[in-house]
Structure 1
Amino acid sequence: MDVRRLELLRELSERGSVAAVAIATHRTPSAVSQQLKVLEQEIGFALTERKGRGIQLTEAGRALARTATDIAVAISRAESLWNAYVEAPAGNVTLATFPTGGQMFLPGLIDAVAAVPGLTLTASDRDPNLAGFAALTNDYDLVLAHSPNGARAWRESGLTVVELMIEPLDVALPLGHPLAGHSYVTPTDLIGQSWIGVPLDFPFQQVLVELERISEEPPRVVQRFSDTRITEALVASGHGVAILPRFTAVLSPSIELRPLVGVVAERHICVLMRPDHAERPSVQLLVATLRAEAERILQGGAAAYVIDY
């Protein structure tokens, strides 16, 4: 049942003649009559009957016209609510984040959202492989993602991608490890080390791939975990070395970080959105807040971490 034909029936109920409906809707009388006949065929009831030289609604026509009015009111209310929704940063925004991204961004983001009346945030932690981040945009307004290559990782996805920051990836060493005395480490330094790695399809794996390419020695990976907290625990207990993000590693006194030089060791943190979601003022506000948080994190990290090469 076409809503536009229902609207013509409603107009006929209110205006009383096909000619009046035609004028109001910028149609010809024959076009109005044709559409009303199609509507009758769709529902299987006569909606009009002859009265003198004109027509009037049947009982079924009057009932359906009342329904058409209810539908018009509902549509108008929905349009009004939608206009308010898209014109102001309000409503609930959903966000998925990888765990260390949530650690970095969520405290400041939640504080910012709390200061905006009518705006709420529902966040969830997810830890997919590289390809899985794009799929999360089907269920979330915003997806915090990371990759070795930045926005290029999602170039063909059709998504709106905003790069927030580049976080260095350092080598995590147990306290007292011979390399802990270095101000930085190189691929050659790491030959023969036992590694606590990540699943093969996770972004950090790319660093180990580059180490193998440069040193021509495959890293000896003894364990693989997606959870950096497990990785940190194993490094701290002396079971291997690992790649950890500089700003989000929660280090025990038994772990030391050293920069890795001679290899591109970094992750690009981006926010992914479906293009229609990206147009919402509430989503745009959160993206701006995420960018401000990223700048704050970068400034704090640069001040606290001076590398002497």
Structure 2
Amino acid sequence: MELHQLQILRELGALGSVTAVAEALRVTPSAVSQQLAALQRGFRTPLTRKQGRTLVLTAAGEVLAASGAEAIDAMAAARNALDAFEHDAAGPVTLSGFHSVGQALFGALVRELAATPPAPTVHLTDEDVAQSDFPALTARYDLVLAHRMDHSAPWPSSGIRSLTLVREPLDVAVAASHPLASRRSLSPADVAGERWVTSRIGYSPDDVLRAIAAVANQPAQVQHRINDYGAVAAVVATGDAIGMLPRYTSRSVDDRDIVRLPLRGVNTLRAIDVLARPEHLRRRSVRQVIESLQRVMARLSS
């Protein structure tokens, strides 16, 4: 039983003939008859009968047509409710972000939205997962802030939409007292023999470190595996190891005792992307949050 079949049954009771129903719905009489026959196959009791040359409703057909009218009205109300939900600028939006982007963007995003009422009601969560696990988060959140290295596989295209906010370099971080601190830039050969503090496997700094080792043809000496950039900077400041910090999204890190240096000869760029299911992007409040994220990131990276 389909909703459009119930609509045809209702119109038959209201208009009195298959021809009139066809004209009203702008279909052929044959199409009307086929849909009525398909509807009848779902019921043992006859829904229509011949009255002369005209097809009319039986008593059972009238009962079903009346109930069908209620179903059609309920569906229309549901569509209107969905339309209102999709067009509501102040609707709720769930947003997840990995730790460093949350530290860099979440506060600024809340202030940005508050300055442009009516603002969506945003629910923020930090989700620090490996790069390959970001797409799955779109099942739980309207928007997902994710990072992806330039050399890695693209995000899945089926059922996921992605928008790049910025392409962010990762810089080498050394203690202010380190011999390399006076350099303007570094090469893989300069740093490959150093002791490193890097991320856990599957996260972006570790990917770059493996590329450095490959270019320099020298294995990396990984001393510490730490994902939090504040903790990385604290270790680097002691001179015990060198590390890597994202250029824009780790600006909250205390730089008094460290120096950041660009790395040449290896691609250190990572994309910071917004991932979402296509149906979430239909909502005005979700699109408004994305626009605010774009403005916040533009200021952060300028």
What per-residue deviation string (whole Å, max 9, x for no partner) do you get for residues 4-62 of structure 1?
Answer: 11111111232233343233223444543443232122133222345566454334322
2:222 pairs with 1:224? no
Aligned residue identity for 1:103: Q
Q: Distance in 1 between matches of 2:282 and 2:80?
A: 17
2 CA distance for matches of 1:163 and 1:218? 33
Q: Which amino acid aligns with 2:148?
A: S
Q: Which residue of 2 aligns with 1:143?
A: 144
What secondary structure is seen at the aligned counterpart in 2 of 1:42?
Answer: coil
2:301 pairs with 282, 298, 308, which one? 298
Q: Which moved more, 1:79-88 or 1:38-47?
A: 79-88
Question: What aligned pairs does 1:94-113 form with structure 2 within 5 A after superposition?
Answer: 94-113=94-113
Please give the residue correspondences for 1:142-291 in structure 2 after superposition, counting only pairs within 5 Å: 142-149=143-150, 153-154=153-154, 157-158=157-158, 159-174=160-175, 176-182=177-183, 184-236=185-237, 239-249=240-250, 250-252=252-254, 255-262=257-264, 263-291=266-294
SS in 2 for 1:171: strand
Give the partner amino acid of 1:12.
L
Please give the per-residue CA displacement for 1:61-91, whole angstroms capped at 9, x wherever unaligned: 2222122111211222233334444456452
Structure 2 counterpart SS, 1:154: coil
Residue 185 of structure 1 and its aligned partner are, at CA, apart by 4.2
The CA deviation at 1:220 is 0.4
- CA spacing shift, 1:19–1:215, aligned 2, 3 Å: closer
In structure 2, the gaps of 5 or more residues are none
CA distance in 2, matches of 1:108, 1:24: 55
What SS is found at the alignment partner of 2:271? strand
Cα distance, 1:259 vs structure 2: 0.7
Q: Distance in 1 between matches of 2:29 and 2:143?
A: 50
TM-score by length of structure 2 reads 0.83
SS in 1 for 2:105: helix
**C-alpha distance in structure 1 between counterparts of 2:138 and 2:103, whole Å:** 20
CA RMSD of the aligned region, Å? 3.0
Question: Counterpart of 2:131 in 1: which secondary structure?
Answer: coil
Output one character per residue of 1:266-292: Cα deviation in whole Å (capped at 9) or x when no partner: 332222234444454333322222221
Return the offset for 1:173. 3.2
Q: Please tell me whether the aligned partners of residues 233 and 258 of structure 2 are also in contact (alpha carbons under 8 angstroms).
A: no
Mapping of residues 111-130 of structure 1, within 5 Å: 111-114=111-114, 115-117=116-118, 119-130=120-131
| Structure 1 residue ranges without an equivalent (≥5) | 300-309
Query: Contact (CA 8 Å) 1:113, 1:120: kept in 2 or not?
Result: no
Task: Name the TM-score, length of structure 1 as normaliser.
Answer: 0.81
Q: Per-residue displacement from partner, 1:162-205 (whole Å, max 9, x unpaired)?
A: 22223332233346444445555443442432212212221212
Partner of 1:305: none
Question: Contact 1:5/1:35 (CA < 8 Å) preserved in 2?
Answer: yes
**Identity across matched positions, percent:** 36
Query: What's the CA shift for 1:244?
Result: 1.6
Q: Report the count of equivalent residues.
A: 298
Q: CA 1:24–1:177 in 2, change beyond 3 Å: closer, same or farther? A: same
Give the whole-Å Cα distance in 2 for the aligned partners of 1:38 and 1:246. Answer: 64
